[in-house]
Structure 1
Amino acid sequence: MNILVFLIPAALLLGLLGLGAFLWSLKSGQYDDLEGAAERILFDDEDDRPDEGRPDQSEPGDNKTAS
């Protein structure tokens, strides 16, 4: 029974620490955009793809030197 003198305050302290961390995360905006990061990976970025029809690109076997 004497151990409860230590366990109850320790449990209360850990609970208050968890509640404080949760409230801090609410204030700092951790839950503002719940779907943005999850859906951002699904959208294609057109700028990241190399352009295949560019005239300044040459293939390795092409000799485009002036003779």
Structure 2
Amino acid sequence: MDIIYLLLGISVLVAIAFFTAFIISVRKGQYDDVYTPSVRMLFEDELVKTKSEKNQSLNKVKSS
């Protein structure tokens, strides 16, 4: 029974260590996206159609 308490304590310490490492990496900008902003300007002119607009255009094609 003592080993369960020992393993539980160790697992809590390991979880705290991983959580601390995650917080530090987020604060240092490890997960910042540096690629998308440079490419976003290439795709700004695309028109985004909603589902209703797509359905209307399909209905026009079908009725013709």
Runs of 5+ unmatched residues, structure 2: 40-64
TM-score, normalised to structure 2, is: 0.51
Q: CA RMSD in A?
A: 2.0
Indicate yes or no: 2:9 matched with 1:22.
no
Q: How many Å separate the matches in 2 of 1:29 and 1:2?
A: 41
Paired residues in the alignment total 37
* Richer in helix (by share): 2
Q: How many Å separate the matches in 2 of 1:9 and 1:2?
A: 11
Q: Which runs of 4+ in 1 moved over 6 A?
A: none
Task: Please state how far the C-alpha of 1:14 moved relative to its aligned partner.
Answer: 0.2
Give 1:13's aligned residue: 13
Q: State which structure, 1 or 2, has the greater radius of gyration over its C-alpha atoms.
A: 1
Task: Please state how far the C-alpha of 1:26 moved relative to its aligned partner.
Answer: 0.4
Give 2:44's aligned residue: none
Question: One-letter code of the match for 2:15?
Answer: G
TM-score, normalised to structure 1, is: 0.49
Q: Percentage identity across aligned positions?
A: 32
